[in-house]
């Protein structure tokens, strides 16, 4: 009887061991291999071979325009996104010192101009007076010479006793009067001519001073024009780093930013990390913009840096500009081994 009990216990133990072994086998068959689980990790198997990303277009070449002088930003003449041309006035800076210098130079010029006009008018009048005085002096001189000849003849006749004393005295008086008048009028003519010479000299000096004041005003205007910011290139105004009313100076090197050569643009993308890992420089891309060709524009990944992807492309359409939104198609590289 004891032997029968031992056999029963051994049999039950064997059945329990067989049941446990069967359960382990079933679990192993139901569970996939560890490597397969890793391959099917979420976020990897779901990434397609090609992605379509959205980014902003920007210019590859940007020219920064600095503020020209110290002052207060008074006015902008162009808005971001607007096409500008070389030499175009883009902004004006108010500088009180430059404006005061221009006003002072303008006042000086106007004062000297008034002086020149007065001298010119005075010289014209003096020349007329001198001309009239010289004519009177010539007439008086002619009368004097005529009276002198008559007096000399009467004096000769009187000495010879051939003319009455009254006739001689009359000729002498007329001669003295003519000489007096000739001397007086001649002196007036000389004074008038001296006046002309003096005014001419003064006018020459005033005209030289006027030219100096004109040059000074021109310099003041040029200095004031330095407070105007002009575009150095043709392009598209991208951004302004200051607003009207802000103080600016030559230290503000990026007051304005202008995009040039709009035939060469790029798109800045910020893909998710799993996608970023499968994008490499030199990969081909297709840039799609509503304003661009319907077939898209071929591009190429030029850089992958700091979580961003830069796709460069040639722009055949003037309608495509920096700041626009673009969709970029990129065929992803195979995942790195072991991922």
Question: pTM of the predicted model, to two decimals?
Answer: 0.51
Name residues whose C-beta falls within 8 Å of residue 317's C-beta, 6 or more positions apart in sequence: 291, 292, 293
Per-chain mean pLDDT for the chain = 85
Q: Residue 14: what pLDDT? A: 54
Query: 331 or 226, which is more confident?
Result: 331
Rounded to 5°, angle at Cα 231 from 83 and 302: 65
What integer is the mean pLDDT of 219-246? 89
pLDDT at 29 over 60: no
pLDDT band at 339; cut points 50, 70, 90: low
**Do 287 and 326 form a contact (C-beta atoms < 8 A)?**
yes
What integer is the mean pLDDT of 206-225? 90
pLDDT band at 335; cut points 50, 70, 90: confident
Rounded Cα distance between 34 and 25, Å, is 16
Q: Residue 24: what pLDDT? A: 46
Q: Residue 13: what pLDDT? A: 53
Per-residue model confidence as pLDDT tens digits over 267-297: 999 999 999 999 999 999 999 999 889 889 9
In 3-state terms the chain splits into helix, strand, coil percentages (rounded to 5) of 50, 25, 25
Query: 3 or 98, which is more confident?
Result: 98
- Return the percentage of the chain with pLDDT > 70, whole number: 85
Phi-psi region at 134: left, alpha or beta (left = phi > 0; alpha = psi -120 to 50): alpha
Q: Residue 271: what pLDDT? A: 93
């Amino acid at each position: 009887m004891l032997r029968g009990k031992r056999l029963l216990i051994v049999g039950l133990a064997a059945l329990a061991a067989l049941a446990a072994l069967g359960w382990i086998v079933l679990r192993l068959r139901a569970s996939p291999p560890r490597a397969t689980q890793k391959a099917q990790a979420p976020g990897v198997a779901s990434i397609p071979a090609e992605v379509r990303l959205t980014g902003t277009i920007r210019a590859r070449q940007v020219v920064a325009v600095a503020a020209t002088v110290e002052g207060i930003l008074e006015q902008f003449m162009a808005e971001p996104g607007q096409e500008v041309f070389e030499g175009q006035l883009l902004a004006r800076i108010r500088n009180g010192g430059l404006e005061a210098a221009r006003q002072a130079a303008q006042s000086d010029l106007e004062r000297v101009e008034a002086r020149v006009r007065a001298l010119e008018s005075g010289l014209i009048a003096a020349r007329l007076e001198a001309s009239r005085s010289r004519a009177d002096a010539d007439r008086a001189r002619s009368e004097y010479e005529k009276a002198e000849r008559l007096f000399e003849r009467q004096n000769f006749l009187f000495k010879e006793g051939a003319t009455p004393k009254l006739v001689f005295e009359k000729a002498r008086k007329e001669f003295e009067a003519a000489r007096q008048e000739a001397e007086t009028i001649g002196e007036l003519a000389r004074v008038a001519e001296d006046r002309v010479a003096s005014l001419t000299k003064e006018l020459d000096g005033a005209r030289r001073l006027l030219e100096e004041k004109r040059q000074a005003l021109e310099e003041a205007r040029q200095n004031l024009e330095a407070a105007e910011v002009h575009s150095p290139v043709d392009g598209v105004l991208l951004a302004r780093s200051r607003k009207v009313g802000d103080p600016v100076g030559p230290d503000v090197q990026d007051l304005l930013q202008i995009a040039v050569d709009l035939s060469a643009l790029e798109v800045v993308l910020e893909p998710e990390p799993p996608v970023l890992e499968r994008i490499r420089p030199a990969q081909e891309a297709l840039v799609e913009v509503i304003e661009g060709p319907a077939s898209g524009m071929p591009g190429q990944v030029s850089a992958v840096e700091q979580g961003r992807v830069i796709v460069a492309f040639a722009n055949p359409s003037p309608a495509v500009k920096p700041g626009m939104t673009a969709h970029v198609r990129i065929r992803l590289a195979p995942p790195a081994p072991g991922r």
